[in-house]
Amino acid sequence: MKRFLIMDVDGTLTDGKIYIGQQGEVMKAFNVKDGFGISMLLPKYNIIPAIITGRESRIVELRCRELGIVDCYQRVTDKLQCLQSIVRRYSNSDALYTLGDVAYIGDDLTDLDCMKAILDAGGTVGCPADAVEQIKSIARFVSDKNGGEGAVRQFIEWLTQN
């Protein structure tokens, strides 16, 4: 059965810094170890990666394409509704998925509703070391790495070993 790894971007896949020049957003830094985990490890375990983020960035779109992430949702104001939509879209007569089939990694209050709903359904949630306290207090996995420094890779390794 397929499972899902839903990821936030700013503060989770990146260090949360947003570099903005006169022409708009200029760059974001992603960790190569996170990228390897997403593109090379997740497929081995039949885990579908997806991005749900509140900001919109061409940089994120390019990174998703590079890593083979098909489900990339940007400028999302209701992350829980988006998450539920992803799970429904993959469900069919052969497989009915629920939020219990989801692992989620996020770092801030915009991730809280998704994380609580996933936990209530029996899924798993994690966060980087520098996540806000409300997120750390409910996370089943708290990385010892900050966002953008390999926290997602650690979460992937933990998920696939447990």
Helices (H), the chain: 32-36, 58-67, 79-90, 112-121, 133-136, 151-161
Does residue 120 register a pLDDT over 80?
yes
* Percentage of the chain exceeding pLDDT 70: 98
pLDDT for position 24: 76
pLDDT tens digits for range 62-109 = 999 999 999 999 999 999 999 999 999 988 767 788 999 999 999 999
State the pLDDT at residue 92. Answer: 78
Q: What is the model's pTM?
A: 0.92
As to burial, measured by CB atoms within 10 angstroms (0-12 exposed, 13-18 middle, 19+ buried), residue 107 is buried
Number of domains in the chain: 1
The residues pairing with 4 across neighbouring beta strands, listed in sequence order, are: 48, 102
Range of the domain at 42: 3-161
Q: Give pLDDT, residue 2.
A: 59
> Which CATH number belongs to the domain containing residue 151 in this structure?
3.40.50.1000
Mean pLDDT of 23-40: 90
Which is more confidently placed, 25 or 144?
Answer: 144
Mean pLDDT (the chain, rounded): 93
% helix, strand, coil for the chain, step of 5? 40, 20, 40
